[in-house]
Chains A and B, each alone.
Chain A
Amino acid sequence: MSESTIDLKAIWNESGVQAVLDKLDAELIGLAPVKKRIREIASLLVVDKVRRDMQLAAGAPSLHMSFTGNPGTGKTTVALRMADLLHRLGYSRTGHLVAVTRDDLVGQYIGHTAPKTKEVLKKAMGGVLFIDEAYYLYKPENERDYGQEAIEILLQVMENNRDDLVVILAGYKDRMETFFRSNPGMSSRIAHHIDFPDYTDGELVSIGELILKDWNYTLAPRAKKVFLSYIEHRRTQPHFANARSIRNALDRARLRQARRLLDEGTAVDKAALETIEAEDILESRVLAGVPAATPPKKERA
């Protein structure tokens, strides 16, 4: 090969990675550390590709990842984007994502697990296998649990078919750490551990607005303020699932808005149809005990 220079930027642009990253930036709010890490991985892959073209030894990079974070922090969404990204960079042939949980991998009786796990793996070949709540695969309290068998097959394929398949494990941070501690083989085969931080209240409001925009709704100015206080209170309650909770809350607000519009019984215009008012959110059970925001009607949502 001649001593030529290569325009990395051109290759970067050509691969279409920037489009994926831009989309990631536009559609996912917050998650700065995650985005930074993904950009780093993308850069590594681009540079690796160039190095390979220049015949510089570059071992096939290990791409298996682990996404840890609380529920609703965007792990599945990012995994989907990751599949697209790897496809554009040529590290995944089809770029499809197969999302599974323990049920899809582990069988119910002896001899059931291996074919089941293999079938899933075969379906995921050429793409990305996303194992949600991966720590459920390992149940130390039951020594006859078949999860261990699934893990062993998984490990074998992760090692032997590194070019065919990228595995992404996802789950809560602390439980994933226990899982990795008890499965050192798994831990050592995963190169990228990415932690998804919780969203701040402000970010959650922006996410809410983005969801509403998707549904062709808008928040009234006062509703926005109420929504912020809703998020503050919702966070202190159990089963708070970040963006997912927001989505559900807005779903319910939409129901209340529809009922309010019918109850008012007057003619509605386009603006009324697409605006979520403060009272639609105020009626929520979450804000029931808050003095400053007692709903006008004593109805439970």
Chain B
Amino acid sequence: MMTNTGNRITQGQFSFLPDLTDAQITAQIKYALKNGWAVSVEYTDDPHPRNTYWEMYGNPMFDLKDPAGILMEIDECRKTFPNHYVRVMAFNSARGIESPAMSFIVNRPENEPGFGLTRQEGPGRQVRYTVTSYAAQKPEGERYS
């Protein structure tokens, strides 16, 4: 998109930064665990910004004490879906909040083709804009192979 050179999608935390290293991911997860949030791993190959519900990779992990277990899960997800987007979510289950507290991408496809902008002329001078991912034009599972 306009401000985002290199077509890298920007969703969640840290997405304008270079990819996080494993050590940095570990530090982030440590923070989540310190706050008592349940961490889960999710993946998708539909990069549209409005695609908020990604597929869960395994169950959310409750009652963990150490990030090593989650890193193991992340690595497994990366191995299974090397060309998908993989993100880590931390869910705050405190009553009244009950929503994701953190979300950041830990794996991206090698080649992100980016988005096209379609302008639709409406009645009068109205213009409707649609963002379409070039990758999503292919069927699911073949988008980044």
Contacts and interface: CB of A to CB of B under 8 A. Distances in A.
A161 interface: yes
Interface stretch (A118-126, A188-196, A230-238, A291-299): A118-126
Contacts of A115: 58-59
Contact of A126 (B59, B61, B65, B73): B65
Nearest to A163: B68
Nearest to A122: B69
B58 A164 contact: no
A122 B66 CA distance: 8
A121 B69 contact: yes
A101 interface: no
Contact of A165 (B61, B63, B68, B70): B68
Contact of B72 (A93, A94, A96, A122): A122
Contact of A127 (B59, B66, B67): B66
Place the interface of chain B in its size category: 10 to 19
Interface in B28-81: 58-59, 61, 63-70, 72-73
A68 to B, nearest CB: 27
Contacts of B64: 122-123, 125
Contacts of A124: 69
Interface string A108-122: 000000010001011
B17 to A, nearest CB: 26
A124 B72 CA distance: 13
Contacts of B61: 119, 122
Contacts of A123: 63-65, 69
B68 A126 contact: yes
B1 to A, nearest CB: 37
Contacts of B59: 115, 119
A124 B58 CA distance: 18
B79 to A, nearest CB: 13
A217 to B, nearest CB: 36
A127 B63 CA distance: 13
Interface in A123-149: 123-127
B68 A161 contact: yes
B70 to A, nearest CB: 7
Contacts of B67: 125-126
Nearest to B76: A118
B68 A164 contact: yes
Contacts of A96: 65
A125 B58 contact: no
A123 B33 CA distance: 12
A71 B24 CA distance: 45
A116 to B, nearest CB: 11
Interface of B: 58-59, 61, 63-70, 72-73
Given A94-B65, A125-B64, 5 more contacts: A94-B66, A123-B64, A123-B69, A125-B66, A165-B68
